[in-house]
Amino acid sequence: MPQPEFIAADLGMHRSELIELNVEYLSWVFVEIEKFFGVTSEQIIGMSASEYVPTVIDKVCGNAPPKGVFYLVTVGGTLAGMGGMRSLGGGIAEVKRIYIRPAFRGMNLGDLMLRRLLADAKAFGHEMARLDTGPFMQAAHRVYESNGFVDRPPYEDAETPAEFHSRWRFMERQL
């Protein structure tokens, strides 16, 4: 297997790839939310994933170190996934949008991405990392738990709508 390459994304150079992966990820999330909660993306945010992503891409993927970082990961030159981290202030980092395309799952890329983001967060001076994860993301839950994340109450600035908080997981760990 070719070695994965982690590329620090630049919105100027990688906007189309970031939009493509974020739309792919959120389209999957919205399908799962509809199955789990019985509501559509239009009912939640008033638009589809392809309409929503361009409105938030700068906020989610646009932070430069030390305020954040967003990576694309390739394997053999093929775009395999993404993941990012942003500062919430007060020494707290938030892990965002770790997504590995189905064809590349089982290659430990999600774990490698998380470890890279946690190392960056610590290097940027953060003391705590937080994240939120859907109840249908069991594989991600295992990765987070194996990396020391524990459940916590919902936190301010989480992207998850408040009506899902009671059935969503919010997690954190010291860095």
Which domain does 121 fall in, by range? 4-174
Model confidence at 161: pLDDT above 90: no
Helical ranges in the chain per DSSP H: 11-37, 41-45, 49-61, 109-123, 138-146
Model confidence at 91: pLDDT above 90: yes
pLDDT per residue as tens digits for the range 126-158: 999 999 999 999 999 999 999 999 999 999 989
At 34, the amino acid letter reads E
Kindly report the pTM of this predicted structure: 0.94
| Residue closest to 57 by CA, chosen among 30, 93, 82 | 82
CATH code, domain carrying 54:
3.40.630.30
User: How far from 163 is each of 11, 37, 154, CA to CA, in Å?
Assistant: 31, 10, 11
Number of domains forming the structure of the chain: 1
Mean pLDDT of the chain: 95
| Residue closest to 107 by CA, chosen among 78, 149, 68 | 78
Model confidence at 1: pLDDT above 80: no
Model confidence at 119: pLDDT above 80: yes
